[in-house]
């Protein structure tokens, strides 16, 4: 019996044993449909239908009504995760229920997605309000998440001073928004939950979720979540293996709340390379990419892998000083290390689909992030005006180690084509080289001041962060100090309680990016200067009859930083003006009929380049950003036991340039469909929920654009997911 068979046998045994010990002798008594005792983690702030919340986090000012927040906000609940998430896929699969977000990859080897056309990844996620604890390969695993607050709007000045390296591959901090993850806490009702999942071609997952409250008035709570996942994905030749355990310890009383979250993670993805780059010959006159190949095609050699392990923790405390004032403290730390062996970041191919100029890449890396914040908040009155004040001081520190090497197997380029796969020598041996070496170190210290002034039906948000940044490029021998202020303004007017008109503005600075320590780059280890980004938004929100609708106009700019071809099959990273993103966004969430719940919306995006070198590319398209995109998710519940789920995701066509920056090529539009069903029952006294989901039902093959990048992804094939959840 091999390891996978042993795992499958053990998993099946656990599922049977979890309910078998309570089965009665009579088979007639084993099934019942009386669900009065089913454990439901209801969110008291959830809108009817339970997919989104009516409250979200407003930085250091704490939770506020979505109608009172002067930018677009969407807070996803646990129910949304349960309906749409496949734990073997990137978390972006759930995030794209928000119309401002589109997934940039379908492979769990990466976490990339775009928000309002700007590429982002795990670096941009906050955990319990703590920034910079994840990176491009990692996001919070879905089984620890209580809620996800998605801010696609101008809020940079209310979150404190975060690391500036939270961009793709430690790049710039863009202005489109933030994503804050809140971890699960113990409920007043005890939970002992076992969940088993099956996904793809043989990916099996087991999850334990135990929660208890204890002490006087249940003031202490402990929630433990653990995962063991192993097996083949829907893409032939790709596997995901993940092991982790996390605990959340919290304390609450009349004067204080404390929350400690910590855990260890171990994640490996073998295979799953899905990023490409178009490099046609000089005489190519076409205007489109070659057609997307069969998404079941594997482009990995036998040793392709990406591995990371480490730990993470957050600590949050708030203490009342009197009825109006309290002080708070937040702390977080993460440490990771791992390795990557693959065919570089993206496989280049020509107009015939033939691979060209590709190299092999090996990398050992490590990173450490530490964050600390302390502050006070409260309210005072000056005449008829109420001030909701907050003040904080914070410090963030990060260090990154890396040792990488790029080379061609047997002295030649990796060959093959899109339609038959890569040609890689079977006898090729991976090289052995040392651990990561220090690359860069960054320290940020800052203060944040925020005041929301309430007068009658209007409120005015004034906030600013003063940031002192010290960055040292340890390989290039260059360091710099950057002092800047990040202002945020917001205005809300509510003529009636259910209607809000709002406007907001923010500014932020990127860090001076470090060019990769890679021999392919002519300017490797160079440090690029910081660039200011701005964002403005105006809109209206309306909440009525269980439905929350937001309509907004936004205007964002960011640094246009990308790679260009250089002589000798080399690359050069350059800054070339800014990308400008203007658009309209409509979001609708809530119960649209007695048995129907909807979530989703539409986004129109006009993305162009400005202030480019000598004005040569002013007014041209931003690569990878589609003008139109949308999502619609529906749940139909004919009764309390059954539920049917459907989701459609649409991306309009987008355009990219080739690696020379001279050609314009179309990424065709696409629509994908996901469908599923869930059923609640009991096996004797044990509540059970069975779920089945099919992603990409039509097995659509398509290219996926990445906002602001000339690289693009390839879809994953049709994927089935089944799960059984037992409340013991």
Higher pLDDT, 414 or 474: 474
Question: Which pLDDT value is given to residue 33?
Answer: 41
Least confident of 28-42, 221-235, 493-507: 28-42
- Tell me the pLDDT band of 253, cut-offs 50, 70 and 90: very high
Q: What is the mean pLDDT of residues 445-463?
A: 95
The residues near 381 (Cβ < 8 Å, ≥ 6 apart) are 387
Q: What is the mean pLDDT of residues 500-529?
A: 78
Mean pLDDT of the chain: 87
Using the predicted structure, report yes or no on whether residue 196 has a pLDDT greater than 80.
yes
Using the predicted structure, report yes or no on whether residue 640 has a pLDDT greater than 70.
yes
Least confident of 84-98, 158-172, 339-353, 493-507: 158-172
Question: Which pLDDT value is given to residue 15?
Answer: 38
Nearest alpha carbon to residue 62 among 299, 316, 362: 316
Give the model confidence (pLDDT) of 17-54 as tens digits: 333 333 333 333 333 444 444 444 667 889 999 999 99
Nearest alpha carbon to residue 722 among 677, 665, 667: 677
92 DSSP 8-state letter: H
Give the model confidence (pLDDT) of 383-400 as tens digits: 999 999 999 999 999 999
- Tell me the pLDDT band of 537, cut-offs 50, 70 and 90: very high
Q: What is the mean pLDDT of residues 441-450?
A: 92
Using the predicted structure, report yes or no on whether residue 418 has a pLDDT greater than 80.
yes
The rounded distance, in Å, linking the Cα atoms of 95 and 89 is 12
3-class DSSP assignment, residue 679: strand
Question: Which pLDDT value is given to residue 305?
Answer: 92
Question: Which pLDDT value is given to residue 591?
Answer: 95
Question: Which pLDDT value is given to residue 513?
Answer: 65
Q: What is the mean pLDDT of residues 549-560?
A: 91
Question: Which pLDDT value is given to residue 409?
Answer: 66
Calculate what percentage of the chain has a pLDDT beyond 90. 62
- Tell me the pLDDT band of 162, cut-offs 50, 70 and 90: low
Q: What is the mean pLDDT of residues 155-171?
A: 59
Question: Which pLDDT value is given to residue 26?
Answer: 37
Using the predicted structure, report yes or no on whether residue 700 has a pLDDT greater than 70.
yes
The rounded distance, in Å, linking the Cα atoms of 334 and 320 is 29
Using the predicted structure, report yes or no on whether residue 367 has a pLDDT greater than 50.
yes
Using the predicted structure, report yes or no on whether residue 505 has a pLDDT greater than 60.
yes
Using the predicted structure, report yes or no on whether residue 11 has a pLDDT greater than 70.
no
Give the model confidence (pLDDT) of 263-310 as tens digits: 999 999 999 888 899 989 888 888 889 999 999 998 988 788 999 999
The model's pTM is: 0.89
Nearest alpha carbon to residue 72 among 431, 554, 674, 566: 554
The rounded distance, in Å, linking the Cα atoms of 310 and 334 is 7
Using the predicted structure, report yes or no on whether residue 377 has a pLDDT greater than 70.
yes
- Tell me the pLDDT band of 3, cut-offs 50, 70 and 90: very low
- 208 beta partners: 194, 226
Q: Secondary structure of 312-370 in the HEC alphabet?
A: EEEEEEEEECCCCEEEEEEEEEEEEEEEEEECCCCEEECCCCEECCECEEEEEEEEEEE
Where are the strands (E) in 520-595, listed by range?
A: 532-544, 547-566, 570-593
Contact criterion met (CB below 8 Å) for 375 and 410: no
The rounded distance, in Å, linking the Cα atoms of 236 and 241 is 15
- 308 beta partners: 267, 338
């Amino acid at each position: 019996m091999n390891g996978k068979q042993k795992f499958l046998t053990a998993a099946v045994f656990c599922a049977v044993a979890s309910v078998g010990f309570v089965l009665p002798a009579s088979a007639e008594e084993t099934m019942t449909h009386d669900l009065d005792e089913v454990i439901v983690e209801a969110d008291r702030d959830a809108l009817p239908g339970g997919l989104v919340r009516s409250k979200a986090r407003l930085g250091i000012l704490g939770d506020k009504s979505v109608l009172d927040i002067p930018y677009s906000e969407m807070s996803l609940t646990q129910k949304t995760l349960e309906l749409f998430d496949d734990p073997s896929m990137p978390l972006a699969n759930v995030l794209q229920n928000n119309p401002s977000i589109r997934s940039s990859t379908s492979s769990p080897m990466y976490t990339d997605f775009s928000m309002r056309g700007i590429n982002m990844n795990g670096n941009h996620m906050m955990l319990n309000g703590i920034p910079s604890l994840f990176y491009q390969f990692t996001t919070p695993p879905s089984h620890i998440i209580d809620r996800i607050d998605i801010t696609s709007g101008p809020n940079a000045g209310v979150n404190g001073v975060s690391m500036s390296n939270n961009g793709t591959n430690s790049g710039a901090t863009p202005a489109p928004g933030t994503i804050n993850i809140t971890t699960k806490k113990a409920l007043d009702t005890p939970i002992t939950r076992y969940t088993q999942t099956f996904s793809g071609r043989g990916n099996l997952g087991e999850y334990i979720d135990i929660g208890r409250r204890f002490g006087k008035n249940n003031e202490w709570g402990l929630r433990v979540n653990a995962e063991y996942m192993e097996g083949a994905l829907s893409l032939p030749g790709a596997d995901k293996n993940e092991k982790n355990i996390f605990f959340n310890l919290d304390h609450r009383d009349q004067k204080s709340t404390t929350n400690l979250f910590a855990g260890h993670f171990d994640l490996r993805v073998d295979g799953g390379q899905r990023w490409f780059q178009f490099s046609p010959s000089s005489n190519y006159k076409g205007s489109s990419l070659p057609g997307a190949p069969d998404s079941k095609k594997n482009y990995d050699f036998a040793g392709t892998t990406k591995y990371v392990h480490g730990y993470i923790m957050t600590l949050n405390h708030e203490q009342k000083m009197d009825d109006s004032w309290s002080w708070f403290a937040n702390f977080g730390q993460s440490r990771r290390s791992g390795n990557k062996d693959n065919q570089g970041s993206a496989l280049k191919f020509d107009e015939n689909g033939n691979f060209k100029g590709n190299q092999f890449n090996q990398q050992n890396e490590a990173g450490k992030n530490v964050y600390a914040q302390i502050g006070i908040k409260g309210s005072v009155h000056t005449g008829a005006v109420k001030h909701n004040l907050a003040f904080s001081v914070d410090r963030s520190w990060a260090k990154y180690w890396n040792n990488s090497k790029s080379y061609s197997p047997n002295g030649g380029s990796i060959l093959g084509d899109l339609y038959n796969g890569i040609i890689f020598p079977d006898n090729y041996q991976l090289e052995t080289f040392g651990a990561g070496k220090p690359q860069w170190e960054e320290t940020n210290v800052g203060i944040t001041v925020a005041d929301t002034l309430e007068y009658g039906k209007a409120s005015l948000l004034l906030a600013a962060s003063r940031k002192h940044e010290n960055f040292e490029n340890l390989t290039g021998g260059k360091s710099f100090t950057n002092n800047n202020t990040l202002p945020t303004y917001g205005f809300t007017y509510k003529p009636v309680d259910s209607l809000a008109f709002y406007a907001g503005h923010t500014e932020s600075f990127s860090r001076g990016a470090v060019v990769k320590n890679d021999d392919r780059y002519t300017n490797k280890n160079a440090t690029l200067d910081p660039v200011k980004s701005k964002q403005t938004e105006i809109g209206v929100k309306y909440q009525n009859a269980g439905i929350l609708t937001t309509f907004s106009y936004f205007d964002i700019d960011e640094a246009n930083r990308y790679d260009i071809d250089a002589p000798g099959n080399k690359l050069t990273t350059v800054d070339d003006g800014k990308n400008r993103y203007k658009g309209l966004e409509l979001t609708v969430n809530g119960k649209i009929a007695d048995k129907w719940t909807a979530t989703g919306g539409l986004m129109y995006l006009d993305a162009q380049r400005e202030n480019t070198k000598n004005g040569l590319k002013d007014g041209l398209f931003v690569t990878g950003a589609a003008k139109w995109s949308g999502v619609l998710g529906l749940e139909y519940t004919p009764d309390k036991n059954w539920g049917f789920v459907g989701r459609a995701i649409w991306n309009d066509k987008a355009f990219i340039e080739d690696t020379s920056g001279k050609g314009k090529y179309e990424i065709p539009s696409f629509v994908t469909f996901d469908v599923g069903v869930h059923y609640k029952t009991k096996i004797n006294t044990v509540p059970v929920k069975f779920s089945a989901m099919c992603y990409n039902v039509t097995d659509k093959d398509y290219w996926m654009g990445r906002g602001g990048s000339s690289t693009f992804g390839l879809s994953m094939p049709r994927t089935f997911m089944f799960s059984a959840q037992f409340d013991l």
